[in-house]
Amino acid sequence: MRKATVAIIITGILLHITGAAYGIGESTLVLGAGSSWNSVDKRTGIAEISAIRTNSVLTLSSTRPGDDPHLDMALSFDEERPDMFTDKTGHYRVSASAALSGVNYRWSRAGTGAALFSGDSPRLTAMEESEGPLVISPRSTDALFFSGQHFKDFSIEFWLYPLNMENGERLLSWSATRQTKQGEKTFQRIQCIAARNRLNWSFLDFFSSPDDGKQMTLSLSGSPVLPRAWSHHLIRFDSGTGLLEYLVDGRLEGVAYATITGREGGEVYAPVAGDGGTLVLGGRFAGLMDEFRIYSRYNETPLLSKYPLQGGRIETRLLDLGERNSRVLKVEALGGIFSPGGRNPRAGGVMQNEYVGSGRFIFDNNSMIQFFIRAVDTPYQWPESESGWLPFELGTDFTGNIRGRYVQLAAAFYPSGDGEAAPYLDEIRVVYQRDDPPLPPSMVTVAAKDGAVDISWRASPDPDVSGYLVYFGTVSGEYFGKSDILGVSPINVGKRTSVRIDGLKNGVLYYFAVAVYDRLNPANAGVFSREVSARPLRIVE
């Protein structure tokens, strides 16, 4: 019984030692999670968001592009506070009142925030003229609505989330003065007012004849707009035909012609901005507004999905694994899919189908992340092009030989089929084994001879030994010596464990150390053994 107990104990100890030995050299490099995403230095269409998890995650960016040369005004409402709301083009001055609030990523339609209007209107007459939750005025002669500006095509678009859609809610009001050809001053106005759950647009004295002698008024209306759901609204004008259109969620809802005939054909009346104009948003509106934009073009294809259907991509910088020929065993990831609720943020705004560890990072709605890897031993070998990327499946051992001191990861993010949900990445774990240099030899001894030394050592216990290098020099720790017969330090002696170094100078103190090199090509040299010294002398017999 006692022998059996001892055997069990010994077996347990051996298993523990074996398990510990197996884990030696296996390391994990973590990106994201409690660390950071600083290693991800290339991001195309990707945002770092902190509102989904307790730590920042990477996901597709819903921020609208701002590089359109025809963009005249861009209010994203992504700033932290309403008093920081800014026109990204710099063409307009923006002033927010204390009645205006903001919401974060979970409620916005695009980007990381949206404007929240309370619907309060204690002084309606004053608000109609120059006051309101958000007042915008031209500050640059480049602004489309700068005083007296004649222009051609234009588009006005925004996302809307009304709370109740009550009659009389005033979403937008542009007010200015015009001076007729006869010198008389008239009142110019653009209004967007809710009535019977519809948005009604009116353009008073905004379109003028070519000689600026006549003005006209146009009106448009759409189908009912659902409360507590996001909808996209677009007014666009084609100066070639005089066509004025109103679209809701990409559907054509209303048509009018700024022509003398009131239909296609005939003299076209063009837009003219009045003097001293101001644009008031949300004067009597309760709800959310996002991505208010004005273009100096006819916007033929508005972006209606929350996320760009072409997706986005990240690439890490070179991740240093510490040693040449290190082997990547596998890559794991944590994440999931986040749906802010589509057109209705109250219906979502939660994590769904959380992904853990391994397998294909893909979900039922076809949103997914595809991962790529490449590795080299020196950054100077890194390909300039996009070549060399190998796709792989998370959590599975690499069957290929993914080896190198430096590794780089890439990931392509794709939204759901309707563009309303996006995958997010919470953490990446790179599991690898460093190819540490072989252990140095021990028991190094040296004996002085006439013009030479005999040096020997005990073989390194490391299994990855291809040979030994003998270093020597005349200064401790600096091995730049030279043998008149064997050449300069270090001397490659192959797998021998002793060597005589001839061609040294008698009377000079030499210092020696031995290192092991492995089977790599080029070889990986290990650390030095302990240093020994000897002074060759002529022996008198």
Euclidean distance between CA atoms 507 and 450, whole angstroms = 10
Mean pLDDT of 459-464: 86
Phi, psi (deg, nearest 5) at residue 24: -65, 130
The pair of three-digit structure tokens given for residue 495, joined into one six-digit string: 């797998």
Separation of alpha carbons 237 and 246, rounded Å? 9
Q: How far is CA 243 from CA 212, 273, 352, in A?
A: 19, 18, 44
Mean pLDDT calculated for residue range 361-387: 84
Enter the CATH code of domain 25-59+309-433: 2.60.120
What are the φ/ψ torsions at residue 23 (nearest 5 degrees)?
A: -80, -15
Q: What is the pLDDT of residue 211?
A: 84
Quote the CA–CA distance of 351 and 354 in Å, as a whole number: 7
Query: How large is the average pLDDT for residues 108-120?
Result: 90
Please state, in angstroms and rounded to a whole number, the distance separating the CA atoms of residues 153 and 175.
Answer: 20
pLDDT above 70: residue 19 = no
Residue 385 has pLDDT above 90, yes or no: no
Find out whether 354 and 431 touch, Cβ atoms under 8 Å. no
At the topology level of CATH, where does 442-534 sit? Immunoglobulin-like (2.60.40)
Q: Which of 313, 393, 359 is nearest to 59 (CA)?
A: 313
Strand extents, DSSP E, 419-497: 422-433, 442-449, 452-458, 467-473, 482-483, 487-488, 491-494
Task: Name the pLDDT band for 348 (thresholds 50, 70, 90).
Answer: very low
Average pLDDT, the chain: 87
Spatial distance between the Cα atoms of 258 and 242, rounded to a whole number of angstroms? 5
- Letter for the amino acid at 190? I
Closest by CA position to 510, among listed 518, 521, 519, 501: 501
pLDDT interval class at 342 (50, 70, 90): low
Closest CA to 71 of 143, 151, 174: 143
Q: Which two tokens stand for residue 469?
A: 């290098």
The residue among 290, 355, 257 whose CA lies nearest residue 112 is: 290
pLDDT value at position 24?
A: 52
Report residue 121: phi and psi, to 5°.
-145, 75
Tell me, yes or no, if the two domains 25-59+309-433 and 63-295 fold the same way: yes
Query: For 7-20, b where at least 16 C-beta lie within 10 A, e where not — what string?
Result: eeeeeeeeeeeeee
CATH number of 63-295, picked from 3.20.20.70, 3.40.1010.20, 2.60.120.200, 3.30.300.30: 2.60.120.200
The DSSP-derived string for 174-226 is EEEEEE-TTS-EEEEEEEEEEETTEEEEEEEEEEE-TTS--EEEEEEE-S---
Residue 399, pLDDT score: 79
Read off the pLDDT of residues 176-229 as tens digits, 9 standing for 90 and up.
998 877 777 889 999 999 999 999 999 999 999 988 888 899 999 999 999 999
Identify the band that residue 5 occupies on the pLDDT scale cut at 50, 70 and 90.
very low
- The domain ranges of the chain are 25-59+309-433, 63-295, 442-534
Q: Would you say residue 149 has pLDDT above 70?
A: yes
Instruction: Say how far apart CA 459 and CA 337 lie, in whole Å.
Output: 56
Rounded Cα distance between 367 and 232, Å, is 23
Q: What DSSP designation does 144 have?
A: T
Q: What is the dihedral of CA 514, 518, 523, 527, to 10 degrees?
A: -40
